[in-house]
Homo-oligomer: A and B are copies of this chain.
Amino acid sequence: MRGKQRYYCKSCDFHFTINETAVPQENRRPHEVTIMDLAQQLGISKSTVSRALRGHADIHEGTRKMILDLAQELDYQPNPLANALLKRQTNIVGILVPEFRHYFFPTFIMGAQEVLSKAGYNVMICQSDESYETEVANVKALLRSRVDGLLVSITAKTDNFDHFRTVMQKEIPLVFFNRVCPELDTPQVIIDDYSGAFQAVEHLIEQGYRRIAHLAGPVTLQVSRLRLQGYVDALQKHQLPLDQDLIVYHDLTEEHARICTRQLLDLPQPPDAIFAVNDPCAIEIMLIAKERGINIPQDLGIVGFSNDPISAIIEPSLTTVEQPVWKIGEESARLLLEQMEQPTVEKRMLATRLIVRKSSMRKG
């Protein structure tokens, strides 16, 4: 049956067999139209069909047309699995994010997907749910699925990066975004967290706040550290004292944000403003402040980070640092694509912009 291009196919009209080797069909789904179906119906070899379909040069114009027409008529769809097996390339990109409840990651994904799908890539999305174990498992699953590249934002708990080292050893293109691994020499797309934070805090100072606290993120995350540094430096620039009591670290969960907020507000000398590491936790601060009847922005100024749509809706509206989320997605995807062509360790940084709203406008 081999090498003779004889072919037997239950679901096609055009079939002829010589060797009736039992082909176990069992409960499998009927197959889609293949290159072989086309070849037989036209009485030519499947290589020729393949060539025509792939747009090779050395092919008779008439033959090509004939093949293309039939392919169209039968709605032939190449089987990407066969190709993937052969070429060791799936045209699938894995995206690994810590969560996608909030605004940031879904939007990122949309941006990335746009670029990726234009380049012919499908996307497989996994979320680690802020669990290190799940992250490791996801990386494994994605590798097993033979993705051609990986876009990842790590968990707040990730402090061992061996699973990413494996990816790098296998030379699978890898781009980190937002929550990156500084100790790994890989390409990444981040935003200017430091400047964003610096501006945010400077703005609070200009508005007359003097006891500015920082609800920080986990120190494990570079994003958190950079925003913290921006906060520290802005205070320093304006000769404000750095009070360690005013810096509290939370693990990015809402419950913990609430606990930390209470801790700040219960201080003997509570802060008159809080710079929050991101919008979701800034919202929690606002909720608690409102609960306690604290006047925002008069008694407490608040600034968040990321410009989550809620920040414009909540009252008072939340001053925040805008990040070009969609663009981060696009850039990350582009960087990944470039890296598939040629390995780099390029790091890209996108600008942020302070959006001043009511939660921090103490002066006119």
Q: How far is the CA of A80 from the CA of B81 in the complex (A)?
A: 9
Q: Say whether, besides A88-B31, A310-B310, A123 and B122 are in contact (CB < 8 Å).
A: no
Interface presence of A90 (CB below 8 A): yes
**Which of A90, A146, A287 counts the most B-chain CB atoms under 10 A from its CB?**
A146
Q: How many chain A residues touch the partner (CB < 8 A)?
A: 45
Judge whether B123 and A87 touch: CB under 8 Å. Answer: no
Which of A137-145, A154-162, A193-201, A261-269 lies at the interface with chain B?
A137-145
- The verdict on A168 contacting chain B, using a C-beta distance below 8 Å, is no
Q: Which residues of B contact A82 (CB under 8 A)?
A: 85
Compute how far the CA of A302 lies from the CA of B315 in the bound complex, rounded to whole angstroms: 18
One of A38-46, A99-107, A209-217 at the interface: A99-107
A29 beta carbon closer than 8 Å to chain B: yes
Tell me, yes or no, whether A223 is within 8 Å of chain B by CB.
no
A292: interface (CB < 8 Å) = no
- Give the residue of B88, B103, B143 whose beta carbon is less than 8 angstroms from that of A77: B143
Asked if A313 lies at the interface with its beta carbon under 8 angstroms from chain B, I say: yes
User: A interface vs B, CB < 8 Å?
Assistant: 28-32, 77-82, 84-85, 87-90, 100-101, 103, 106-107, 109-110, 113, 122-125, 127, 140-141, 143-146, 170-172, 283, 287, 310, 313-315
Please name 30 pairs of A and B residues whose Cβ atoms are closer than 8 Å in the assembled complex, sorted by A.
A28-B87, A28-B88, A28-B89, A29-B170, A29-B171, A29-B172, A30-B171, A77-B144, A79-B85, A80-B144, A80-B145, A81-B81, A81-B84, A82-B85, A85-B85, A100-B100, A100-B109, A100-B110, A101-B107, A106-B106, A110-B127, A113-B127, A122-B124, A123-B124, A123-B125, A125-B125, A287-B313, A310-B310, A313-B313, A314-B314
